[in-house]
Structure 1
Amino acid sequence: MGSIPEKALGSTGKAIPLVGMGTAVYRSAPSETKDSVLHAIKVGYRHFDTASVYNSEKPLGEAIKKALQIGLINSRDELFVTSKLWGNNAHPHCVLPTLQQTLKNLELEYLDLYLIHWPLSMKPGNFEFPVKKEDLLPMDYASVWKDLEDCQKLGLTKAIGVSNFSSKKLDDLLRISTIPPAVNQVEMNPLWQQKKLREFCTEKGIHITAYSPLGARGTPWEVCLRWIYEQGVSVVVKSFNKERMKENLAIFDWELTAEDIQKIDQIQQFKGVPALEFISDEGPTGLSWSCGMRRFNSD
C-alpha cells in the first residue's frame, strides 16, 4: 500500500497525513489499544490522534515504542502524533505541566500537534463524566493560547491548534494570537459539511481535520471518507477492526462522480453532536455564554 498523502500546516514546517487513526475508544482495554495501534502502523497509518481525556496516551506511547523496537518504523519522526488539552486544565499556568504529563504518558519528547479540545474550561481538577453545568467555566482564551504558544516555542509541540471552534471563536482567537492556530478539528461529514467554517478556515490558512466522518446514515463509509479527502481536509477515523483499518486507506486511487457530488451537496444538514455524551442533562446548551453545543460550528 502506498504512503498516505499529506498536507503542509502553514508555516510550521510540519505536514499532516490526510488520514489518521483516532484512539477515543473508551471501552477498550489498554492492551487492545496498543495492539490496534501497532497493526495500524503496520498497514500504513502515520497519524495518531489522542487526548488526555481518552486515557489512550499511555498505550499509544507503548505501541510507538514497540514499533520502533521491532522495526515497523525507523524513527519517531515518521509519525504525526496529536493530543488535546481537556477543559479541567484549560487555565493559565496549567497548560505547560499538562502537556509535560502528556509527553510523559506517551514517552515522547514532543508532539506534532497540540489542540485545545473545546472552547471552554472546567473547574480545575474536575475529570468526571457527565460534566456538570456548575463545573463549566468561560475560557480565558488569551492566557491559555499564550501558554500553548510558549509550548511551541519550547519545542514541546511542533504545531498548535484548536478543536470544535466556530468561525467566530477562531476570529476572536486570531485577533489576540502571535502564532495562529494551524488546525481546527471539528465534526465533518456529508451530513454536516461545515461549508461556512471551511471557507473561513481556508481564507485564514487554518487546516481542518474532520472527526466523526461517517455521520451520514446510509452513506457508504468509503464515499464519506473520499468526499472529505476531496475537500482538502484531513480525517481521523476510529476503528480497531483490522480489515476496516486497511479499507479506510483505500480511498486515494479513485474519485467521486459528478452525480455522487451532486447528491452529497443536496443532503439535509444535521449535526451529530457527539460531545453531548459528556454533558449532563442540565448541561450548557442553554447558557448564553456557552459554545452553543447544538449548533456549535455553524456560525
Structure 2
Amino acid sequence: MEKAEPFWAKMSAACGFVALHTGQKMPLIGLGTWKSERGQVREAVKYALSVGYRHIDCAAAYSNETEIGEAFQECLGPDKVIKREDLFVTSKLWNTKHHPEDVEPALRKTLEDLKLNYLDLYLMHWPHAFERGDNLFPKNPDNTMRYDYTDYKDTWKAMEKLVVKGLVKAIGLSNFNSRQIDDILSVATVKPAVLQVECHPYLAQNELIAHCQKRGLVVTAYSPLGSPDRMWKHPDEPVLLEEPGIKKLAEKYSKSPAQIILRWQVERKVAAIPKSVTPARIQQNLQVFDFSLTEEEMSHIGSLNKNWRYIVPMITDGRGIGSSFHIHRQDREYGCGWRIKETVGFRTETLGNGKYSGCC
C-alpha cells in the first residue's frame, strides 16, 4: 500500500518560493526568531516545522541558536519526515565578528549551535563593526559603543570564502543601504543574494526594493507586522495591525490583518519572516497562499507608506531612543536604518556614520 503523503508536505508545496541568483528557492514566508526567548523558541520552531514552515531565520546575536539547534536535531534527519535539504536556514554574522579572522570561527560556532553542517544563507547583520570579542555590545565607561573600523568590504571577502568551502550556500546583507550594497558589489566575487531590512506597509521600501531587484538581490522583510511586541513602543506611534484599511480587507477575505499584510509582501515577491511563539499565530502566518489581493488593494496598502521605522537603533552616545523614527525623504532610498533623522524623543540629528546598534 502506498504511503500517504504527510499533511505538512501539502502545506509546504503551497508555500510560495522566490528564486535566488544562486538557483536556490527561498520560501516567501519564514519563521523569525528575534525576541523568541530561550524556553520558548525550541517549541516554536518544532511547531512551525510541523505545520509546514521550511524557512527559519536565525542570528547569533539573538542568543537562542542553541535551542533552535535542539529543535533541528529533533525534527531533521535522513530517517525523519523532514530532511535537511528540505529546509532553508538563515543566520547572521554579528558586528563583533567583522574582522576577517573572526568570520569563519563565528560561522562555525553558529553551525555548532544549530547542529547543522551548512547554512543556506549567511548575512552580514549590520554594516558597522563593534570592537572584537564576545560581548555583543561592547561599551565605554560612559556607555558609548566601542567600534572597530574593519571595512565591511574586507568582511565580505572573508564571507565569500565560506561559500568556496561549502559552509554556506549563499551570502547576503542585512540593514545595508543602496550605496553600501553597490559598494559590496564593486568588490564581490560572490554576489549578495539577499538583503534583509525592516519592511511593512508603513515602511514600504519601494526605492530600496527596486534597487535590489535591478541588481539581482531578493529582499526579505523583518518585522513585517510592525514588531508589535517591542519593549520600546511609544503610545503615540501608529499601530500597523490596527490600520482601518487593512482591517477592512481582513474582514472581506475572512483573514487576520497580519495575513493581509503578509499577502501584500508575498505578492511583491518580498519574503517575510514574522516572529511568533504562539502556535495559532505561527500557523496563521503561513496561511496566506489561498487568496489574492486585487491590484487596487495592493495599491491601497502601498499608499499607507509613512516612512515609519519601528526598529529603533541605539545612538552612538549611548542613549536608547525609546521611540520610532520617521525617515526624511532625502534619506528614504537608504531605507534600512542607516542615514535617518531622529524626529521623536530627542534632538533631530542625522545619523550618517552608522554609529548605532540593534539586533533585528
> 2:279 aligned with 1:242, yes or no?
yes
Q: Equivalent residue of 2:111, what SS? A: helix
Write the letter of the residue equivalent to 1:187. E
Q: Equivalent residue of 1:248, what SS? A: helix
Over aligned residues, Cα RMSD in angstroms? 2.5
> 2:319 aligned with 1:281, yes or no?
yes
- Contact 2:77 2:83 survives alignment (8 Å): no
> Which residues in structure 2 correspond to 1:31-110 (within 5 Å)?
31-68=39-76, 73-110=81-118
- Contact 1:24 1:50 survives alignment (8 Å): yes
Residues 214, 253 of structure 1: alpha-carbon distance in 2 compared, 3 angstrom cutoff = same
What is the CA-CA distance between 1:164 and the residue it aligns to? 0.7
> Which residues in structure 2 correspond to 1:201-240 (within 5 Å)?
201-215=212-226, 216-219=240-243, 220-240=257-277
Q: Normalising by the residue count of structure 2, what TM-score does the alignment of the two structures yield?
A: 0.75
What is the CA-CA distance between 1:2 and the residue it aligns to? 2.4
Residues 271, 258 of structure 1: alpha-carbon distance in 2 compared, 3 angstrom cutoff = same
- In structure 2, the partner of 1:157 is 168
- Contact 1:130 1:277 survives alignment (8 Å): no
Q: Equivalent residue of 2:196, what SS? A: strand
Residues 138, 42 of structure 1: alpha-carbon distance in 2 compared, 3 angstrom cutoff = same
What is the CA-CA distance between 1:116 and the residue it aligns to? 0.3
Q: Equivalent residue of 2:225, what SS? A: coil
Q: Equivalent residue of 2:123, what SS? A: strand
Q: Deviations over 1:201-234 (max 9, x none)?
A: 1100001011111123424211110111011111
> 2:280 aligned with 1:253, yes or no?
no
Q: Counterparts of 1:60 and 1:146 in 2: how far apart (Å)? A: 28
Residues 147, 70 of structure 1: alpha-carbon distance in 2 compared, 3 angstrom cutoff = closer
What is the CA-CA distance between 1:257 and the residue it aligns to? 2.6
What is the CA-CA distance between 1:60 and the residue it aligns to? 0.9
- Contact 2:97 2:129 survives alignment (8 Å): yes
**Of the candidates 9, 16, 23, which is equivalent to residue 13 of structure 1?**
23
Residues 273, 119 of structure 1: alpha-carbon distance in 2 compared, 3 angstrom cutoff = farther
Residues 64, 282 of structure 1: alpha-carbon distance in 2 compared, 3 angstrom cutoff = closer
- In structure 2, the partner of 1:297 is none
Q: Percent identity?
A: 37
Q: Deviations over 1:254-282 (max 9, x none)?
A: 11134422322321423324142697317
- In structure 2, the partner of 1:189 is 200
- In structure 1, the partner of 2:248 is none
Q: Normalising by the residue count of structure 1, what TM-score does the alignment of the two structures yield?
A: 0.89
What is the CA-CA distance between 1:102 and the residue it aligns to? 0.7
- Contact 1:88 1:123 survives alignment (8 Å): yes
- Contact 1:92 1:140 survives alignment (8 Å): no
Aligned pairs, how many? 291
- Contact 2:111 2:119 survives alignment (8 Å): yes
- In structure 1, the partner of 2:11 is 2
Q: Equivalent residue of 2:69, what SS? A: helix
Residues 135, 73 of structure 1: alpha-carbon distance in 2 compared, 3 angstrom cutoff = farther
Q: Deviations over 1:163-192 (max 9, x none)?
A: 011111101110011111000001111110
Residues 288, 109 of structure 1: alpha-carbon distance in 2 compared, 3 angstrom cutoff = same
Bigger radius of gyration = 2
What is the CA-CA distance between 1:134 and the residue it aligns to? 3.7
Q: Deviations over 1:78-99 (max 9, x none)?
A: 1111100110111121101110
- In structure 1, the partner of 2:124 is 116
Residues 211, 46 of structure 1: alpha-carbon distance in 2 compared, 3 angstrom cutoff = same
> 2:357 aligned with 1:290, yes or no?
no
> Which residues in structure 2 correspond to 1:175-186 (within 5 Å)?
175-186=186-197
Q: Deviations over 1:228-261 (max 9, x none)?
A: 1011111111011101111111111211134422
Residues 160, 44 of structure 1: alpha-carbon distance in 2 compared, 3 angstrom cutoff = same
The gaps in structure 2 that reach 5 residues or longer are 1-9, 227-239, 244-256, 322-337, 341-348
Residues 134, 64 of structure 1: alpha-carbon distance in 2 compared, 3 angstrom cutoff = closer
What is the CA-CA distance between 1:130 and the residue it aligns to? 8.6
The gaps in structure 1 that reach 5 residues or longer are 295-299
